[in-house]
Amino acid sequence: MDLISRIQNLAKDFHPEIAACRRYLHANPELSFKEYNTQAFIWSELEKIGVNKKQKIAETGIVALIEGKNPQSKTIALRADMDALPIQETNNVEYKSKNAGVMHACGHDVHSSCLLGVARILNELKENFKGTFKLIFQPGEEKLPGGASLMIKEGVLQNPSPSEVLGQHVMPLIETGKVGFRSGVYMASTDEIYVTVKGKGGHGAMPHLTIDPVLITSHMLVALQQVVSRNANPIMPSVLSFGKVIANGATNVIPDTVYLEGTFRTP
């Protein structure tokens, strides 16, 4: 049997176990830099597989090695992220998040599970390849300064140094069973935006006595969309989005402040 067929057969054989890993991680999500249970689970799964060369890094991250023949000849790193988002899950599935206000809404449960699946396959086939695969389970992808920067500072790309780093990201728009590739820039860089609009609150029945930050904010949100559409080259994709708006007044009370959180993504 050729190597590709062996990989495909192993992937099929391991699929139920990897699906179970994904469902466990989805049901037990943890926020950025708090992935202690996630780290323990991934560590135990690597133990089951028989991956002995591993260490904890950046507090809640893991780096592991799977060595083939002549392990010094080349090193390729494979990376997956681990953290979830501060979102309340409303899906009605048996593996729904058990942690209130925390959800794997960005697919990091899938990424980590897939890397565990790759680890299983590579460990089975280590007599069939030369070099070393470095497995990187990264914490804190969703929060600055980012777990990748902390892992790099602690030497994740050294001893051995990989010639390349490969990662993946789920994309629901791509048909199941297919993967997407492109040359050049693919995923965007991101900046976080935090804005506080300060006004003067008061009773909703007397708006003329206030400086209404809610109304000001509504104008800002509409106007800010033109920052991208009228300042960025349309050939170069850019996205400005606000996902959190807090005006903590009442039905008849205009608050003093409105708080915004958003993201700006560029190539």
**How would you label 115-142 residue by residue, b for 16+ Cβ within 10 Å and e otherwise?**
bbbbbbbbbbebeebebbbbbbbbbbbb
Q: Indicate the fold that domain 3-167 takes in CATH.
A: Aminopeptidase (3.40.630)
Does 3-167 match 189-266 in CATH topology? no
Q: What is the CATH class of 189-266?
A: alpha beta
Cα–Cα dist 106/243, whole Å: 14
The model carries a pTM of 0.85
Tell me what the pLDDT averaged over the chain comes to: 95
Lowest mean pLDDT among 24-33, 65-74, 140-149: 140-149
What residue segments make up the domains of the chain, in order of their start? Answer: 3-167, 189-266
Q: Over 90: is that where the pLDDT of 22 sits?
A: yes
Rounded percentage of the chain residues whose pLDDT exceeds 90: 85
pLDDT in tens, 137-190: 999 999 888 999 999 999 999 999 999 999 999 998 999 889 988 887 777 888
